[in-house]
């Protein structure tokens, strides 16, 4: 990944150097200028994350990633996320927001974790998790371990608060267990 970044930066520098030479000789070579713009636009960037997280939070998330995922898994996640945009994240946030709102509603109305509504929520939840894990069992386990530890960690060690409380988490875990039992029998 570092080599890719290095190659991208080298391409940008080369394009800028070529354009600078042309501009110094008063040759208005618009193709070179367009090339610089294109090379820079090819730069994958996740700078948009800095709008939502502090540097400390990003560092904590990086630390958690290293703790819960192998280097191979981290490379998979990086590959899957290389084209992930702020817009993609906003859509995912909206989907998760709806799922969490459903969870809160089910708990606040004392629904049974085995109810059709709770089981439908589990299906949505698993689909959202699958979007992240791509069904990779190792990444799924790392994610489970991370959320388990994050839910038990002191607030100052957590890069972001969990969007549900202990009661809601317990409900969700019960609903997931029921869902898995119902679907493993088929």
Q: How far is CA 117 from the centre of its chain?
A: 27
Same domain membership, residue 178 and residue 138: yes
153: in domain: yes
Name the helix (H) or strand (E) containing 65.
Answer: helix 55-68
> Per residue of the chain (186 residues), what is the pLDDT tens digit?
566 667 667 777 776 766 666 566 665 555 655 655 655 555 555 577 777 778 888 888 888 889 999 999 999 998 988 888 888 888 998 999 999 999 999 999 999 999 999 999 999 999 999 999 999 999 999 998 888 888 888 877 777 778 888 899 999 999 999 999 999 865
pLDDT of residue 115: 97
pLDDT of residue 96: 93
Domain range enclosing 176: 54-184
Same domain membership, residue 145 and residue 58: yes
Same domain membership, residue 168 and residue 137: yes
Same domain membership, residue 146 and residue 103: yes
144: in domain: yes
Closest listed residue to residue 137, CA positions, set 63, 70, 66, 64: 70
pLDDT of residue 42: 55
- Number of domains composing the chain: 2
Closest listed residue to residue 110, CA positions, set 168, 169, 162: 168
pLDDT of residue 20: 65
Same domain membership, residue 71 and residue 4: no
61: in domain: yes
Same domain membership, residue 118 and residue 28: no
Same domain membership, residue 178 and residue 133: yes
- Torsion over CA of 64, 69, 75 and 78, rounded to 10 degrees? -40
Cα–Cα distance for residue pair 38/43, rounded to 1 Å: 9
Same domain membership, residue 160 and residue 113: yes
Dump the DSSP string for 86-124: HHHHHHHHHHHHHHHHHHHHHHHTT--TTSHHHHHHHHH
Same domain membership, residue 180 and residue 140: yes
- HSE-CB for 29 with a 13 A CA cutoff: 15
Same domain membership, residue 102 and residue 82: yes
């Amino acid at each position: 990944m570092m080599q890719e970044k290095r190659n991208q930066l080298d391409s940008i520098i080369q394009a800028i150097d070529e354009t600078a030479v042309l501009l110094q000789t008063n040759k208005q070579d618009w193709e070179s200028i367009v090339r610089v713009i294109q090379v820079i636009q090819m730069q994958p960037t996740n700078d948009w994350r800095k709008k939502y997280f502090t540097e400390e939070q990003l560092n904590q998330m990086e630390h958690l990633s290293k703790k819960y995922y192998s280097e191979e898994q981290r490379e998979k996640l990086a590959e899957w996320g290389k084209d992930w945009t702020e817009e993609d994240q906003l859509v995912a946030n909206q989907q998760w927001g709806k799922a969490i709102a459903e969870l809160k509603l089910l708990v606040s109305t004392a629904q049974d974790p085995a109810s059709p509504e709770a089981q439908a929520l589990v299906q949505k939840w698993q689909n959202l998790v699958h979007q992240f894990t791509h069904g990779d069992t190792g990444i799924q386990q790392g994610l489970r371990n991370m959320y388990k530890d994050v839910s038990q960690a002191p607030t100052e060690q957590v890069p972001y608060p969990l969007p549900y409380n202990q009661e809601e988490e317990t409900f969700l875990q019960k609903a997931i267990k029921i869902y898995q039992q119902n679907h493993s029998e088929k």
